[in-house]
Structure 1
Amino acid sequence: MVESLNLLPTVLWFVVVLLFVLGLAGLVLPALPGSGLLLAAVVLGAWIDGFERVGWLTVTACAVLAVLAVLADYVAGVLGAKRVNAHPYALVGAALGTLVGLFGGIVGLLFMPFVGAGLGEWIGRQDTRKDLGRITQVGLATWLGMLIGTVVKLALGFLMVGLFVLALVV
């Protein structure tokens, strides 16, 4: 019985590492809640350590970064679409295109949000259905907004991991 209790921290640290890996993947893959998984890893790691090395300040800073990551993702996509006065369906189409793109590997993840945004614009606006230039412009602007949001999410996510590791080591 005592041996199994000694194994528990090792198993929990394995879960922390797994949460970090899944969290970082989730910053790019829309099917996983990336920043939430990263925050869960930070909280679990701090708890395992009894909040001695990774204290509440680090946990709070990571929580703020997680919220900022979610907001950045949303705001960047909306701003990209609003910049070209896109129909709300363009954002929905970009999100659905991202989900469909999961099955197409990296090419699908990069290409399908653009296609989805263009289709969303085409469905949402009767007056632009024949204007391929307009549909392409909306698709590109929405896609760029989502791409910028993803880059910001990645930067904030790696900052969360860095803060955790720094607190653990120092």
Structure 2
Amino acid sequence: MNTNVLWLLSTVLIAAGLAGIVLPALPGTLLVLAGILLGAWIDDFTRVGWFAVSVVVVLALLAWAMDYVAAMLGARRAGASKQAIVGAAVGTVAGLFMGIVGIFIMPLVGAAVGEYLARRDHGRALHVGISTWLGLMAGMLAKFVLAFMMIGVYVVALMF
């Protein structure tokens, strides 16, 4: 296969990965990592060596952990029920079909509805919904930062 096509594929994977950080249907960090690994492989790991690849893999693992930890901390801090957690997950999936606003708002709605169904308390449901949503947003922000760090390590390794 032509190396120009491979470099293009590497770039497309990284770009799709950045989109996947916001769109839960795409495995964002995994796509960024795949694009970086492809770029390193194309060059026979000469410019992007094993040290850089190892750093990128560690950053990817941190990003995956942030996905779960941030949302759980937000929910746990608010004392969310299991129904609220399930509601946030269902809201996230439903939000995919509602565009960018749905992606950001539906996890909050799902968590609030789940909490309301569990405890029948409007105020508590809203509090849990907001806390869970803040956790999801913090996790998304952390994944963006880590993804850009991964890309930064890759670009620096390519250039030097």
Q: After superposition, give the CA deviation of every residue in 1:74-126 in whole Å (9 maximum; x if it has no partner).
A: 00000000001101221221122112112222211121110011122123x2x
What is the RMSD of the two structures over their aligned residues, measured on CA atoms? 1.0
Aligned counterpart in structure 2 of residue 95 of structure 1, from 86, 89, 102? 89
Structure 1 counterpart of 2:46:
52
1:166 has 2:146 as partner: no
CA deviation after TM superposition for structure 1 residue 28, in Å = 1.1
Contact 2:10 2:36 in 1 (8 A): yes
Runs of 4+ in 1 over 6 A off after TM superposition: none
Matches within 5 A, 1:122-137: 122-123=116-117, 125=118, 128-129=119-120, 131-137=121-127
Greater Cα radius of gyration, structure 1 or 2: 1
Shift of 1:63: 0.6
Alignment of 1:57-76 (within 5 A): 57-76=51-70
The amino acid that maps onto 2:4 is: T
* Unpaired stretches in structure 1, ≥5 consecutive residues: none
List gaps (5 residues or longer) in structure 2. none
* Aligned 1:101-120 pairs, distance under 5 A: 101-120=95-114
TM-score relative to the length of structure 2: 0.96
Q: Matched residues, percent identical?
A: 52
**Paired letter, 1:92:** V
The count of corresponding residues between Structure 1 and Structure 2 is: 160
